[in-house]
Amino acid sequence: MERIRRIPAQQPLSERLSFWGFALAGLVAALIFLMPVVWSLANSFKPAAEALAHPAALFSKSFSLENYRRLEGVGAGWYVYATNSVLIALGTVALTILVAVPAGYGFSKFRFPGQSALFMIVMATMMIPFQSILTPLFLILKFLKLQNSLTGLVLIYVTFQLPFSIFMMRNAFDAVPRALIEAARIDGASQATILRRIMLPIALPGVATVAMFAFLNSWNEFLAALIFLSDQNKFTLPIMLVNVSSGIYGIIDWGALQAGIAVTMLPCILLFLALQRYYVRGLTAGAVK
């Protein structure tokens, strides 16, 4: 705030105008991006009759939780799907971090034969379209007796999350000076201690970024969840949304759908707001010395 107040006062008119022009353009862009979120939230609190009213109004005079109540009647109830989504997302985040952090550390700070080739191969897997290997993945999960299980789905998500996460963590560790590791080695710390007590706290923005991407991707993923899960009690929120939107007799229950969307997007927004400070720092780590 201090900065916004001070800058126009000190600058010549042309610069002040360009500053306010920039601020206005930013505000308009922000409103455009915010609109669907606000629209969806507002609709989710409207009574069912008003959801399809013409002309459409952004806010209704009457406030109702009816749409959220109706979500409970969808399949096994929204909280079952939400719980599944939370379990899968947390499992994906935990396992991704558990593998990506040591892998990124290894690629960043150790030199071993075939290192570049191995890293290239790991990165190259990002180029494979997920849809093209659905069948072999299904067969592998079946062989491991993990089809129709949340654990199986977590493993699939982690696999697809890892290349980007390893890349991110390698960059994050690259930004940490080698002298810190050497100082810790002289201090008598083991590699595990160095990673846990020295490197990880410094590379925390990278970990936050990896965690956020893992969470968002697994939380929003639809196709794999639809294919690998067949038991209704194991479905995730995105699948629930489809079930809501293709309701009984093909009639779309817009109000319930908006309520479902609100439930689905809220954790993502909260997580992003909580981690955005780390997220930006994590993405730019290693870009400049």
Partner 1 sequence: MARLELRDVVKSYGIYEAVRGIDLEIEDKEFVVFVGPSGCGKSTTLRMIAGLEHITAGEIVIGGQVVNRLGPGKRDIAMVFQNYALYPHMSVRENISFCLEQQRLSKSEIASRIVRAAETLHIEELLDRRPGQLSGGQRQRVAMGRAIVRNPKVFLFDEPLSNLDAKLRVQMRTEIKRLHQILPTTTVYVTHDQVEAMTMADRVVVMKDGLIEQAGPPQVLYHRPASRFVAGFIGSPAMNFLDARLEAEADGLSVRLADGRSLPVPPGRLCAYASHAGRAVTLGLRPEALSVRQDRLGFAKLDADVELVEPLGPATMIYFTLAGAALCASIDPEAAPKAGQSLPLSVNMNQMHLFDADTGLSLLK
Give the footprint of partner 1 on this chain (CB under 8 A).
177, 179-180, 182-189, 193, 197-198, 201-202
Cβ atoms of residues 164 and 213 within 8 Å: yes
Based on CB atoms, which residue is closest to partner 1, 198 or 210?
A: 198
Based on CB atoms, which residue is closest to partner 1, 124 or 180?
A: 180
Q: Tell me the three state secondary structure of residue 190.
A: coil
**Nearest distance from C-beta of residue 169 to partner 1, angstroms:** 17
Instruction: State the Cα–Cα distance between residues 97 and 103, nearest whole angstrom.
Output: 10
Based on CB atoms, which residue is closest to partner 1, 136 or 188?
A: 188
Q: In this structure, what are the phi and psi dihedrals at residue 74, rounded to the nearest 5 degrees?
A: -80, 115
Amino acid symbol at 33: F
DSSP output for 32-84:
HHHHHHHHHHHHHTS-HHHHT-SS--SS-SS---HHHHHHTTSTT-HHHHHHH
Amino acid symbol at 235: F
Q: Which residues, at least 6 apart from 282, have a Cβ–Cβ distance to it below 8 Å?
A: 168, 172, 205, 206, 207, 208, 209, 210
**Nearest distance from C-beta of residue 258 to partner 1, angstroms:** 44
Q: Tokens for 114?
A: 């075939």
Based on CB atoms, which residue is closest to partner 1, 73 or 177?
A: 177
Based on CB atoms, which residue is closest to partner 1, 149 or 193?
A: 193
**Nearest distance from C-beta of residue 105 to partner 1, angstroms:** 16
Residue whose entry in the numeric block shows the structure tokens 């806010």:
59
Instruction: State the Cα–Cα distance between residues 178 and 187, nearest whole angstrom.
Output: 14
Cβ atoms of residues 168 and 206 within 8 Å: yes
Based on CB atoms, which residue is closest to partner 1, 72 or 187?
A: 187
**Nearest distance from C-beta of residue 111 to partner 1, angstroms:** 12
**Nearest distance from C-beta of residue 142 to partner 1, angstroms:** 46
**Nearest distance from C-beta of residue 108 to partner 1, angstroms:** 17
**Nearest distance from C-beta of residue 93 to partner 1, angstroms:** 22
Based on CB atoms, which residue is closest to partner 1, 18 or 284?
A: 284
